A and B are shown apart, each in its own frame.
Chain A
């Protein structure tokens, strides 16, 4: 491990996944920020850099600074969907290393559930302003169908099965059942029959868009969170053990003639991040990988280098991704993931938060002596245009 530029020193995941329309996204952001600062032993006045996906509308960087009551010298409103928070962590590390910031605050809040947004199956609602949208709008491709097309091609090219994809769903559900906040989330969102699941449960659940079943699709919740990233000097005096940001990578991918839909931008962002951190995937204890759908994790395990392209199906078999199988490789999404704990639309911040919990020894599904974690966000749509942000984290 080479880099000691910046550390995660404060984290908070907003507890409720169903605010019943009584709390705004901005309020979720502010409360999460305050709790994360308390977790670090810092206050608003310590923050000199803010990172927010700008989902609050025009001039969001300015208005959210005012809302928090801050006068930051760094404002970053990069929005690349669910991977925004990995991009923010990468930028915060860079801004701190360059001396432009000492304490960076990353925030996220959403009321997607309360707003009754049918994110996955809403389907082309109308022609957008972007020319790409204007070409796709007539097809009726739902978000689920976009990812399902990746799964179909993965099955076609590599013989991957629904049973293998289901391994991802059941490992995350296993972890969710150990996390009281995840169980409450599933109750509040009126999941049926909340319990650990089997491969048959997943493959017998209703098909949403072939070949993806209901239990391979993430929930739509309310929620949010905050992360504080600080310089080594600030981290030294913080309340909790620092979790170092050791490496980062950012990449994008678009549909292209002759392109391979089963390979994501994660292959590029992952290689950058592991290279910068000076470690290999085999050393990783915790894999926080954006589980919008089962196939997202399958593709990303391959692209991040845990196994070769096309071999993910066999690799995940037999419960390998569970937290109590540490000798087999990393534990996956130990908070319960987007599939079974928290997905308000852009889940990337929770990947950083749970990875930090594991490296502090605070997870509900704690991997003993976890030292190294990867957080990988996928933003946009895996089967067409998407962004990939990879963050490697480690403790002393």
Chain B
């Protein structure tokens, strides 16, 4: 029997497909409006700050802080039920966007994950795309 796998995004979803395509090259990208500088995240085709906007894809350096988190103890999902306890977190990237992800590479998420701790991007590799996760900054 196959091991259950992490649920993955649809690579061809029309608003987010460029974001996911960039992850193939291990690039974490976000959009910013040429006209009004609004940072747009999650990705879209239009600017949410002005109506004239042309959005430009920017590259995040992949550093941020844990804005908040929870350690999940119970999940019925076939993949995640085997991963408990694991940390889900809102990561505030240095460039501004807040991304939902996991904090990994810690001995015990109940002890080693803290609000405001510095984290850096680490890629979990998959066939079509890569998944942006975070680990504590050394």
| Least distance between B8 CB and chain A CB atoms (Å) | 6
A150 CA to B16 CA, complexed, in Å: 26
Per a CB cutoff under 8 Å, which of B73, B76, B77 touches A206? B73
Q: Are B75 and A121 in contact (CB under 8 A)?
A: yes
Considering only residues 5-32 of chain B, those with a C-beta below 8 Å from chain A are 6-10, 13-16, 19-20
Q: Are B74 and A121 in contact (CB under 8 A)?
A: yes
| Least distance between A206 CB and chain B CB atoms (Å) | 7
Q: Are A257 and B41 in contact (CB under 8 A)?
A: yes
A118 close to B (CB within 8 Å): yes
Q: Are A140 and B72 in contact (CB under 8 A)?
A: yes
Considering only residues 119-158 of chain A, those with a C-beta below 8 Å from chain B are 121-127, 129, 131-132, 134-142, 144-146, 148-150, 152-153, 156
A145 CA to B70 CA, complexed, in Å: 6
Given A139-B101, A152-B115, also A258-B96 (CB < 8 A): yes
A127 CA to B9 CA, complexed, in Å: 5
Q: Are B76 and A121 in contact (CB under 8 A)?
A: yes
B58 close to A (CB within 8 Å): no
A256 close to B (CB within 8 Å): yes
| Least distance between B119 CB and chain A CB atoms (Å) | 14
Q: What residues of B have a CB within 8 angstroms of the CB of A384 in the complex? A: 100
A255 CA to B68 CA, complexed, in Å: 12
| Least distance between B123 CB and chain A CB atoms (Å) | 12
Which has the most chain A C-beta neighbours within 10 Å: B6, B9, B99? B9
Residue of B nearest to A126 (CB): B7
Q: What residues of A have a CB within 8 angstroms of the CB of B97 in the complex? A: 257
Q: What residues of B have a CB within 8 angstroms of the CB of A136 in the complex? A: 100
Q: What residues of A have a CB within 8 angstroms of the CB of B33 in the complex? A: none
Q: What residues of B have a CB within 8 angstroms of the CB of A146 in the complex? A: 70
A138 CA to B83 CA, complexed, in Å: 13
A153 CA to B68 CA, complexed, in Å: 6
Given A134-B10, A153-B115, also A145-B68 (CB < 8 A): no
Q: Are A125 and B7 in contact (CB under 8 A)?
A: yes
Per a CB cutoff under 8 Å, which of A118, A150, A259 touches B76? A118
Q: Are A139 and B42 in contact (CB under 8 A)?
A: no
Q: Are B67 and A209 in contact (CB under 8 A)?
A: no
Given A127-B10, A135-B9, A139-B100, also A210-B71 (CB < 8 A): yes
Considering only residues 246-267 of chain A, those with a C-beta below 8 Å from chain B are 255-259, 261
Contact with B along A379-396 (1 / 0, CB 8 A): 000011000000000000
Interface size class of A (residues with CB under 8 A): 35 or more
Q: What residues of B have a CB within 8 angstroms of the CB of A134 in the complex? A: 9-10, 13, 15-16, 20, 42
Given A131-B43, A149-B68, A153-B68, also A261-B77 (CB < 8 A): no
Per a CB cutoff under 8 Å, which of B79, B98, B110 touches A140? B79
A363 CA to B135 CA, complexed, in Å: 52
Q: What residues of A have a CB within 8 angstroms of the CB of B77 in the complex? A: 122-125, 140
A207 close to B (CB within 8 Å): yes
Q: What residues of A have a CB within 8 angstroms of the CB of B110 in the complex? A: 210
| Least distance between A162 CB and chain B CB atoms (Å) | 13
Q: What residues of A have a CB within 8 angstroms of the CB of B79 in the complex? A: 140
Q: Are B76 and A123 in contact (CB under 8 A)?
A: yes
Contact with A along B48-79 (1 / 0, CB 8 A): 00000000000000000001111111111101
Per a CB cutoff under 8 Å, which of A127, A141, A209, A258 touches B100? A141
Q: What residues of A have a CB within 8 angstroms of the CB of B131 in the complex? A: 138
B39 close to A (CB within 8 Å): yes
Q: Which residues of A contact B (CB under 8 A)?
A: 118, 121-127, 129, 131-132, 134-142, 144-146, 148-150, 152-153, 156, 206-212, 255-259, 261, 383-384
28 contacts between A and B (CB under 8 A): A118-B76, A124-B7, A125-B77, A127-B10, A131-B15, A131-B16, A131-B43, A134-B10, A134-B20, A135-B9, A135-B42, A136-B100, A138-B9, A139-B88, A139-B102, A141-B100, A144-B70, A148-B70, A149-B88, A149-B90, A152-B69, A152-B115, A156-B115, A156-B116, A209-B72, A255-B98, A257-B41, A258-B96
